[in-house]
Amino acid sequence: MTIGPASVPVLPRGVRLHHDRVRDTWVLLAPERAIRLDPIGHAVLCEVDGTRSFGAIVAALAAKYDAPQDRIAEDSRGLLTGLLNRRMLELTE
Amino acid sequence: MTVRPPLAMLAELTHRCPLSCPYCSNPLDLARKETELSTEEWAGAFRQAADLGVLHLHLSGGEPASRRDLEELVATARGAGLYTNLITSGIGLTERRLRALDEAGLDHVQLSLQGTDAAMADRIGGYRGGFDRKMQVAGWIAEIGFPLTLNAVVHRQNLHQLPEALDMAVRMGARRIEVAIVQFHGWAMQNRAALMPTRAQAEEARRIVEEARKRLLGTLVIDFVPADYHEDFPKSCMGGWGSTGLNIAPDGTVLPCHAAQTIPHLSFDSVRDRPLREIWYNGAAFNAYRGYDWMPEPCRSCDRKQIDHGGCRCQALALAGDAGATDPVCARSPRHAELRAKADAFAAGSDETLTYRSFAPAEPA
């Protein structure tokens, strides 16, 4: 499965963002897994709402952080593909 | 040494269970219902765990559905901010209870599998009709939409069903499967001759898992617990003693791992007497095998000590007579050759005699 501009990523049930107040960091919680998110990872996953396409997410992040779209797309695709392979993300389109 | 907060907690809500699997990881001396923590006591423990830094709460047993307050406990745990995972055989769950658990915010279900057909599953679980009931429960789980992990416990008598277990997981829509070759603690220690896989089976299981991982990438995540006795390096038990997780037994005893009470010289605290935070950071049992200072050679100077932490303390006690020894599973242990011979001898044992788990007869009045 590859993530294209029209793909709509969504966090499936049982996978959720959680603010870890003890370690003061954001984590992605999933069955038997807790992934500590760096600020970039957190920013990407905050845009994943199950309605917007990957293309729209990249454009939003590029505008927000004033960064080149190619770079944002590459980083985000890497993160999301890893989650996809671990069944922690799904594509609706 | 810096002790970090725990990430996961296993709450053994009860030792009661309709099944009587001969490899149950519960202790031989099962805790009776009247000793179990109350709803309020568990709720307090969950809140303390969340404050301490625990992220994942595994609700286990025995069979956690044997607790009539399970739904309330899940709601409390979610309220405390914990990720709630129910580890169940499915027996005792009805569609109505599952909907109530959904309502309570249960995050994930882990369903155990004793075999892939009724003949195998019901014989191993010691419970007639259990398999059919489990399949019914699996249907409700899928209907409600709970994320599902199948937990296949495999051993010499059902390892040939591993490919079918993987297919079943896919058919059920499970996202994950845990393929766990029986670990010999608790009741499984009584059944080593009946359950020990052969070396060839252990290798075949690894090959099947590796092939399936490639074939099912993005469909099914496979976690694999190999046949410990046939390995050359020990498991990183609990990811290091007192480093990542803790267990609470039905009566509130706080343990570094579920078998820790087999180590006779350790003393354990209860959440009934002492705050969880204090037990985690200062409890004698937790500090007994933390870090590296307790290690003998060859562990102390070993390049793998940060990988496997010297292996399993309970197994070192069971196999070497010393909980502070190198786990004999390790090829660098002086007892490794002896263990290898023992494993092969067990693997040649008879399938017939299974000792099922059971409560000790009541003391005479």
With CA atoms as reference, the chain B residue closest to A25 would be: B53
Contacts of A23 in chain B (CB under 8 A): 5, 53
Distance in angstroms (rounded) separating the CA atoms of residues B292 and B240: 10
B296, B324 in Cβ contact below 8 A?
Answer: yes
Has residue A90 been placed in a domain? no
A93 inside domain: no
Task: Give residue B40's identity as a one-letter amino acid code.
Answer: E
pLDDT of residue B360: 83
Provide, as residue numbers in chain B, all residues whose Cβ is less than 8 Å from the Cβ of A21.
81
Which of A13, A14, A27 lies closest to B55 in CB terms?
Answer: A27
The residue behind tokens 């499984």 is B188
Strand partners for B223: B178
The one-character DSSP state at B15 is: S
Nearest CA in chain B to A84: B218
pLDDT tens for residues B144-188?
Answer: 999 999 999 999 999 999 999 999 999 999 999 999 999 999 999
Query: Residues A17-56: pLDDT tens digits?
Result: 999 999 999 999 999 999 999 999 999 999 999 999 999 9
Whether residue B298 is preceded by a cis peptide bond, meaning omega within 30 degrees of 0, is: yes
Cβ separation of B146 and A14 shorter than 8 Å? yes
With CA atoms as reference, the chain A residue closest to B150 would be A31
> In this structure, which amino acid lies at residue B97?
R
Chain B residues closer than 8 Å to A18 by CB: 55, 81, 83
The tokens for A21 are: 């107040």
Where would I find the H helices in chain B?
Answer: 39-52, 70-79, 95-104, 118-125, 130-144, 162-172, 192-195, 199-215, 276-282, 284-288, 305-308, 313-320, 336-347
Q: Output the pLDDT for position B361.
A: 78
Within-domain flag for A27: yes
Looking up residue A35, the CATH number of its domain turns out to be: 1.10.10.1150
| Cβ-nearest to A86 among B7, B145, B221 | B221
pLDDT at B365: 53
Of A12, A21, A84, the CB nearest to B218: A84
Task: Output the CA angle B155-B17-B251, nearest 5 degrees.
Answer: 110
Chosen for mutation from B47, B221, B276, B277 (greatest number of chain A CBs closer than 10 Å) is B221
Range of the domain at A21: 13-85
ipTM of predicted assembly, 2 dp: 0.94
Q: Which residue, among B162, B189, B206, has the nearest Cα to B262 in the 3D structure?
A: B189
**pLDDT value, residue B364:** 60
Tell me whether strands A25-30 and A16-20 are parallel, antiparallel or unpaired. antiparallel
What average pLDDT values come out for chain B (365 residues) when binned by 10 residues? 94 97 94 96 98 98 97 98 98 98 98 98 97 98 98 97 98 97 94 96 97 96 95 92 97 96 96 98 97 94 94 94 96 95 95 90 64
Is A24 within the bounds of a domain? Answer: yes
Is residue A41 one of the residues assigned to a domain? yes
Q: Do A12 and B147 touch (CB under 8 A)?
A: yes
Cα separation, B278 vs B265, in Å, equals 20
Residues 15-74 of A with CB under 8 A from B: 15-16, 18, 20-23, 27, 29, 31-32, 34
Question: Which of A20, A31, A86 is closest, CB to CB, to B55?
Answer: A20
Q: Do B221 and A27 touch (CB under 8 A)?
A: no
Q: What is the pTM of this model?
A: 0.96
Residue A93 has pLDDT above 80, yes or no: no
* Per-residue pLDDT tens digits for A50-91: 999 999 999 999 999 999 999 999 999 999 999 999 999 999
pLDDT at B1: 73
Structural domain tally of chain A?
1
* Residue A76 included in any domain: yes
Q: Quick one: B182 exposed, middle or buried, by C-beta within 10 A (0-12, 13-18, 19+)? A: buried
For residue A5, being part of any structural domain is answered with: no
- CB-based contact B149 A31, cutoff 8 Å: yes
pLDDT at B363: 63
Q: Decide if B218 and A1 are in contact by the 8 Å CB cutoff.
A: yes
CA dist., res. B153 & res. B169, Å (int): 13
Q: Is the bond into B129 cis (omega within 30 degrees of 0)?
A: no
Distance from CA of B51 to the nearest CA of A (A): 7
Chain B CB contacts of A85 under 8 Å are 217-218
Residue B225 β-bridge partners: B180
**The residue to which tokens 């739904």 are assigned:** B71
Q: What is the 3-state secondary structure (H, E, C) of A11-33?
A: CCCCCEEEEECCCCEEEEEECCE
Per the domain annotation, does A8 fall within a domain? no
Of A20, A34, A87, the CB nearest to B176: A87
Inter-chain CB proximity B52 and A20 less than 8 Å: no
